[in-house]
Amino acid sequence: MDQYLDIKPEVAQALAAGKPVVALESTIISHGMPWPQNAETAFAVEDVIRAHGAVPATIAVIGGRLKAGLEKSEIEYLAKKGQAVTKASRRDLPVLCARHEDGATTVAATMIVAAMAGIQVFATGGIGGVHRGAEVTMDISADLEELARTPVLVVCAGAKSILDLGLTLEYLETKGVAVCGYQTDELPAFYTRTSGFGVDFRADTPAELAAAFAAQRALGYPGGMLCTNPIPEKWSMDPAVINAAIDQAVAESVAQGVKGKRVTPFLLARVKDITGGDSLESNIQLVLNNAALAADTAGELAKNT
């Protein structure tokens, strides 16, 4: 494993000392937001984690090396390259390592590298899931499979609302992945706080969330856990507005034949344009909110290790 994995010294020191560490993905930098908001958001998220007493570990593949923790210059490098960087999921990591290439890690790939490094908590925006029309396309994100096999607690704002949320929850249930609602009994829908779908259990404090994940680890379960944290009320979008934008973006993606890894970046970009940029600001704020909860939860986990 060490043949391909680089752990940033600050991260390695924190892990060795039993201090809280929070993993962060890099696809949101290269494929989720435009320059320069992508770099600004990445730095802001790391700052929030530090402010809450934890050490950030942004994860990516650079020159074929799996990186658990990036330098500022490396984050800027990914941000400027944007979608020219490979969007890297589980299947891509070995090839990128072998070819000494760059990759921006998805939720799935970030979980893999985090687990390799010994990081238990990961903050992101929203996970991938079952795409609308998956009964025909079979387009189901590898994020869901990774949650079933890799022991990392993922804090997000729910599945991206460009997806079929009901089928995403059904898939997670089939895979035995526990879905927590943070201070809510309902699955948040990324840009909005509610979806109409219930979660498996509710946690009202970081300590409760940490206790549930610690119990899962003690029981020897092989997979992870998903915590869904609603977007702050101030930044929550009108469901009618965002759903209309998503419907339009999905129709355009079908008409243009957008498939595979290109689907999510295409939809997020079109939703941003259709909403006049409002969705981008909401996206940034929910990521910051998730980072704070993840750092607080990592701190609670560290108290018991």
The active-site residue, picked from 67, 87, 160, 272, is 160
Q: Tell me if residue 160 is catalytic.
A: yes
The Cα 241–Cα 227 span in angstroms is 26
Task: For residue 110, give its domain range.
Answer: 5-303
Q: Is residue 51 scored above 80 in pLDDT?
A: yes
- Give the model's pLDDT for residue 286: 95
CATH number of the CATH domain containing 45: 3.40.1790.10
Instruction: Give the contacts of 297 (CB within 8 A, at least 6 positions apart).
Output: 121, 153, 155, 206, 209, 210, 213, 227
- Give the model's pLDDT for residue 277: 66
Report the share of the chain in percent with pLDDT over 70.
97
- Give the model's pLDDT for residue 268: 73
* More confident site: 100 or 280: 100
Report the share of the chain in percent with pLDDT over 90.
73
Q: Tell me if residue 25 is catalytic.
A: yes
Say how many domains are in the chain.
1
H helix count then E strand count, the chain = 13, 11
Helix 263-274 to helix 278-303 angle (10° resolution) is 120
Instruction: For residue range 87-114, list pLDDT tens digits in order.
Output: 999 999 999 999 999 999 999 999 999 9
Instruction: For residue range 267-276, list pLDDT tens digits in order.
Output: 777 877 887 7
The pLDDT of 39-64, averaged and rounded, is 98
Tell me the pLDDT of the chain averaged across its residues. 92
The pLDDT of 227-248, averaged and rounded, is 88
Beta-carbon neighbour count of residue 238 at 10 Å? 12
- Give the model's pLDDT for residue 132: 72
Instruction: For residue range 202-226, list pLDDT tens digits in order.
Output: 999 999 999 999 999 999 999 999 9
The active-site residue, picked from 25, 46, 76, 300, is 25
Residue 26, classed as helix, strand or coil, is coil
On whether the CB atoms of residues 224 and 181 are closer than 8 A, the answer is no
- Give the model's pLDDT for residue 138: 78
| Bond into 36 cis (ω within 30) | yes
The Cα 154–Cα 168 span in angstroms is 15
Instruction: For residue range 10-37, list pLDDT tens digits in order.
Output: 999 999 999 999 999 999 999 888 899 9
Residue 234, classed as helix, strand or coil, is helix
